[in-house]
């Protein structure tokens, strides 16, 4: 076809489209339908993507396993070349803040196995620790504070060998500087530990792990666990708690929280405070009732802060975290109780000046077995 004929044909086609627009639309529609993939094509595409992701996941899992294996090899290699060569009977020479000629047995420093102090002096890091020119291991701490710690550790070691512990009255006085050092070495719970007190004939307590205490109420003549109460007094150590975790085992019941209580320095608490009755200044959760109570209202009854809580003590354990979350010394403070599901109950309480009088204290009223851990102390108030 000559160029002239081509131009005539194109012109005729254009004229036809103008005369019959549906012809052009039909062609465009057919083209549009042709561009849309059918269901089978879409399914194949999804299958390809899923297959690709599956292969990618397998590759990443293989790489992760190889890295884990390599890490394990490195750890074993390190441990073989840096063994815990320290012996319990090693005598370690220390330079504490410039004070030299301090000698101490290794097992004195490592008796709290989960502390940072024990890890530091395990023997594994002796070669890499800072030393003075005479080869003494340098400890950058105040000599007086570290000396108090050593004195306590030595007493504890001797008493443990005789089946006892260091009485509360013979533990170091809690000061901000001393307790800051203990927190650095993760030794607060080792030195001051749990000082929950109550009727000694009504419950037993056992440290089942570092910083974790198991409380168990004694049973009555018919083998039913009796209700008993423990509090964490301020007067024994000068320390107040900011936080603690209580876990009531399956079947255990009672109440837990913060209540204004007479802290006269005694080492006992009433045999049963029974936190189901009115307390003007407190916030606590009753496990069996599944209710949380706050300070008294105008009717002289405790305000209900929450009810029908998602706990069931007869079927599962009940874990709670109790915190003091706000306020400063001699002022109103906010206290909270948080359940494992994230439910939080809080209330503002008046915390009286604890001059051998009342103050807000952590309290656990329980029947059965309760595990207490996660203690944090208000050392900034010392």
Q: What is the pLDDT of residue 53?
A: 86
CA dist., res. 335 & res. 333, Å (int): 6
**Residue bearing the bigger pLDDT, 379 or 81:** 379
The pLDDT assigned to 269 comes to 52
Please state the rounded mean pLDDT for residues 81-105. 84
Strand order in the sheet with 197-198: 197-198, 228-231, 358-367, 253-262, 282-286, 291-296, 302-306
Tokens at 126, concatenated: 């002796």
Q: Which residues contact 285 (CB under 8 A, 6 or more apart)?
A: 255, 256, 257, 291, 292, 293, 306, 309, 320, 337, 345
Tokens of 280: 């003007």
How high is the pLDDT of residue 29?
A: 47
Which residue has better confidence, 61 or 118? 118
pLDDT digits (tens, 9 = 90+) for 297-310: 766 677 889 999 99
Q: Please list the residues that pair with 365 across neighbouring strands.
A: 229, 255
Q: Which residues of 182-220 are buried (b: 16+ CB within 10 A; e: fewer)?
A: beebbbbbbbbbbbbbbbeebbebeeeebbbbbbbbeee
Q: Is 377 exposed, middle or buried (0-12, 13-18, 19+ CB in 10 A)?
A: buried
Shortest CA distance to 37 belongs to which of 29, 28, 49, 45? Answer: 45
Compute, in degrees rounded to 10, the torsion defined by CA atoms 121, 123, 129, 133.
100
Give the model confidence (pLDDT) of 6-24 as tens digits. 555 555 555 555 555 554 4
- DSSP E strands, 234-278: 241-248, 253-262
**In this predicted model, which residue has the larger pLDDT, 269 or 192?**
192
Say what the pLDDT of residue 275 is: 54
When the pLDDT of each residue in the chain is averaged and rounded to a whole number, the result is 82
Count Cβ atoms below 10 Å from residue 256 Cβ, excluding itself. 24
Which has more confidence, 233 or 5? 233
Q: pLDDT digits over 33-80, tens only?
A: 555 556 667 777 888 888 888 888 889 888 888 888 888 788 677 656
Model pLDDT, residue 36: 53
**Is the per-residue pLDDT at 321 higher than 90?**
yes
Q: Which residue has the higher pLDDT, 165 or 363?
A: 363
pLDDT computed for residue 3 by the predictor:
52
Task: Specify the range with the lowest mean pLDDT, choosing from 26-40, 60-74, 207-221, 309-323.
Answer: 26-40
Q: What pLDDT, on a 0 to 100 scale, did the predictor assign at position 78?
A: 64
Q: Give me the pLDDT at residue 270, please.
A: 47
What pLDDT does residue 10 have?
53
CA distances from 252 to 59, 197, 217, 317, 341 (A): 48, 19, 10, 8, 19
Determine the average pLDDT of the residues in 173-197.
Answer: 93
Closest CA to 152 of 120, 121, 181: 181
> How is residue 78 written in tokens?
């390190």
């Amino acid at each position: 076809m000559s160029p002239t004929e081509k131009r005539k044909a194109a012109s005729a086609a254009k004229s036809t489209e103008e005369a019959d627009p549906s012809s052009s639309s039909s062609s465009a529609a057919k083209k549009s339908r042709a561009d849309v993939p059918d269901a089978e094509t879409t399914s194949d595409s999804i299958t390809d993507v899923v297959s690709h992701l599956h292969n990618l996941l397998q590759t990443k899992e293989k790489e992760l396993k190889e890295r884990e294996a390599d890490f394990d090899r490195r750890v074993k290699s390190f441990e073989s070349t840096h063994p815990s060569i320290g012996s319990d009977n090693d005598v370690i020479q220390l330079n504490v803040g410039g004070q030299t000629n301090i000698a101490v047995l290794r097992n004195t420093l490592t008796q709290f196995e989960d502390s940072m102090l024990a890890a530091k002096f395990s023997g594994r890091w002796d070669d890499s620790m800072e030393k003075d020119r005479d080869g003494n291991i340098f400890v950058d701490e105040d000599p007086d504070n570290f000396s108090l710690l050593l004195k306590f550790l030595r007493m504890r070691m001797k008493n443990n060998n005789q089946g006892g512990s260091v009485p509360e009255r013979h533990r170091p006085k809690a000061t901000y500087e001393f307790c800051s050092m203990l927190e650095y070495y993760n030794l607060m719970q080792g030195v001051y530990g749990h000082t929950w007190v109550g009727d000694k004939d009504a419950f037993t307590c056992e440290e089942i792990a570092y910083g974790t205490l198991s409380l168990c109420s004694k049973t009555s003549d018919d083998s039913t666990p009796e209700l008993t109460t423990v509090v964490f007094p301020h007067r024994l150590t000068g320390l107040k708690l900011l936080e603690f975790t209580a876990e009531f085992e399956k079947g255990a019941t009672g109440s837990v929280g913060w209540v204004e209580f007479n802290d006269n320095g005694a080492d006992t608490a009433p045999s049963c405070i029974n936190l189901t009755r009115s307390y003007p200044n407190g916030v606590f959760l009753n496990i069996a009732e599944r209710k949380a109570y706050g300070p008294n209202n105008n009717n002289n009854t405790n305000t209900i802060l929450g009810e029908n809580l998602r706990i069931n003590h007869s079927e599962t354990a009940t874990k709670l975290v109790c915190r003091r979350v706000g306020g400063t010394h001699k002022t109103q403070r906010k206290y909270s109780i948080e359940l494992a599901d994230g439910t939080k109950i809080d209330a503002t309480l008046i915390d009286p000046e604890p001059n051998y009088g009342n103050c807000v204290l952590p309290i656990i009223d329980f029947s059965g077995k309760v595990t207490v851990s996660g203690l944090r102390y208000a050392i900034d108030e010392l």
